Amino acid sequence: MIELQHLTKRYGDALAVDDLSFTVEPGHVTGFLGPNGAGKSTTMRLILGLDAPTSGHALVNGHRYTSLRKPMREVGALLDAGAVHGGRSAYNHLLALARTNDIGPARVAEVLEKVGLAGVARKRLAGFSLGMKQRLGIAAALLGDPGVLLFDEPVNGLDPDGVRWVRDLMRSLAAEGRTILLSSHLMSEMALTAERIVIIGRGRLIIEATVADLTSRYPSLEDAYMALTADSVQYGATR
Ligand SMILES: Nc1ncnc2c1ncn2[C@@H]1O[C@H](COP(=O)(O)OP(=O)(O)OP(=O)(O)O)[C@@H](O)[C@H]1O
> What does the pLDDT look like over 127-183, one tens digit per residue?
998 889 999 999 999 999 999 999 999 998 889 999 999 999 999 999 999 999 999
The H-assigned helical ranges of the chain are 40-47, 71-74, 90-99, 105-114, 130-142, 160-175, 187-193, 211-217, 221-229
The Å distance, Cα 216 to ligand 1 centre, comes to 32
Identify the pLDDT of residue 238.
Answer: 59
Whole-model pTM: value is 0.94
> What digits encode the pLDDT tens for the residues 72-113?
999 999 998 777 888 899 999 999 999 988 899 999 999 999
Q: Pocket residues for ligand 1 (CB within 6 Å)? A: 11, 14, 16, 34, 36-42
The fold for domain 2-228 equals Rossmann fold (3.40.50)
- Whether the Cβ atoms of residue 107 and residue 98 lie closer than 8 Å to each other: yes
Q: Is the ipTM of this complex over 0.90?
A: yes
For ligand 1, atom 2, which residue shows the shortest CA distance? Answer: 11
Instruction: Give the β-pairing of 196-201 and 29-33.
Output: parallel
